[in-house]
Amino acid sequence: MSLPDQAAVESHIAAFERELADAKSVRDAQTVRDRYLGRKNSVVAAWMQSIGAAPADQKKNMGRYANELKQAIEARWQAYAERAQATARPAGAVDVTLPGRVPPLGHRHPLTIVRDQLESIFTRMGFAVVEGPEAEDDWHCFDALNMPPEHPARDMQDTLYLATPIKGESGRDDDVRTLLRTHTSSMQIRYMQAHQPPLRIVVPGRVYRRDDLDLTHSPACGQIEALLVGEGISLADLKGTLLAFARQMFSPTVRVRFRPSFFPYTEPSAEIDLSCWQCDGAGCPMCKKSGWIEIGGCGMVHPAVFEAVGYDAEKYTGFAWGIGIERVAILRYQVEDIRLFYEHDLRFLEQFPY
């Protein structure tokens, strides 16, 4: 350790200035100051101790140097503290030079993305998008679609009836039963009542069945149905339209297959199968090794439906089909559990950021 003399005073002052300039914060600077001026183990404290042990004739000189160092350091510290005070931010101040915090951006739900894609494909084909009420009367949901009250086909749809009757538009005087619509076909009836052919619409929306929520079922799910009515419309138009849709939605090489089926409101009726675009028909887990994927139902509009809305069934023909929006989303995104779409889990939903 150096003894108090002129050279040591100057060297300590220079070192102190350097260390103070390097201090990253006021707290660092205080540590530097304490190393020089602190009561114990500091440079000045050590010098004071060495003076006590020095010969009497040197004490005075050594004391002068120690005081000089102490005063020099105190003066520099004082100046530093005043500068720090002057430039310190007031409590609670906002540093406007910091980069801003960007709020996380939301995005569409995967089911909305799929619905938008479906609507986009069909509007490009000239279909209008129409929506209708989710609480329906049974005339629009069943009777007008060739399912009178005693028709066994009503049993195929596990309907959620509502207790409160609403005034229907059927012109009937008896009680109108109200229900949560089991398909968006009810809106096709409403549209035909208000418009004359030719017409082409798609009706997307939510439909309800008395299903338990499991891997593949939900009591509420999205559906999109199409209706096209005009003169000379044939099954070939139906198949061509579905083929154009499937090739835009899934794969440019996909093929459409009709399997005969039954729906009260179409005749003939068919299930729509698409050739598996993963294996091109060879068989894979997605198509359950069949090479085909069922996607919905379709058919030519039954004359009884045209009669219900006052169309001339001799003059007009048309086709209709219905597809589940969840079904398309499941195929499109390879999702195995339909419940994932409803659970609002961001770890799932953030995988569809567009």
Residues that bind Zn ion (CB under 5 A): 276, 278-279, 284, 286-287
- For the CB of residue 218, give the shortest distance to Zn ion in the complex, in Å: 24
Q: Tell me whether residue 42 or residue 251 sits nearer to Zn ion (CB atom).
A: 251
The tokens describing 158, both together, are 């596990």
The tokens describing 80, both together, are 């530093």
- For the CB of residue 295, give the shortest distance to Zn ion in the complex, in Å: 13
The residue nearest Zn ion at its CB is 276
Backbone angles phi, psi at 4, to 5 degrees: -65, 110
DSSP per-residue codes, 141-202: HTGGGT--TT-GGGGGS--EEESS----SS---SPPPEEE-SSTHHHHHHHHHH-PSSEEEE
- Burial class from Cβ neighbours inside 10 Å (0-12, 13-18, 19+) for residue 239 reads middle
Is the CB of residue 256 less than 8 Å from the CB of residue 292?
no
- For the CB of residue 255, give the shortest distance to Zn ion in the complex, in Å: 13
- For the CB of residue 195, give the shortest distance to Zn ion in the complex, in Å: 41
Residues counted in the chain: 354
Distance from C-alpha of 342 to C-alpha of 220, rounded to nearest angstrom: 10
Is the CB of residue 319 less than 8 Å from the CB of residue 268?
no
How far is the CA of 238 from the CAs of 32, 118, 268, 300, 303, in angstroms? 86, 16, 12, 8, 17
Q: Tell me whether residue 211 or residue 280 sits nearer to Zn ion (CB atom).
A: 280
Q: Tell me whether residue 20 or residue 329 sits nearer to Zn ion (CB atom).
A: 329
Q: Tell me whether residue 149 or residue 252 sits nearer to Zn ion (CB atom).
A: 252
- For the CB of residue 104, give the shortest distance to Zn ion in the complex, in Å: 37
- For the CB of residue 291, give the shortest distance to Zn ion in the complex, in Å: 6
Q: Tell me whether residue 156 or residue 284 sits nearer to Zn ion (CB atom).
A: 284
Q: Tell me whether residue 243 or residue 284 sits nearer to Zn ion (CB atom).
A: 284
Q: Tell me whether residue 81 or residue 286 sits nearer to Zn ion (CB atom).
A: 286
- For the CB of residue 250, give the shortest distance to Zn ion in the complex, in Å: 12
Q: Terminus-to-terminus CA distance in the chain, angstroms?
A: 70
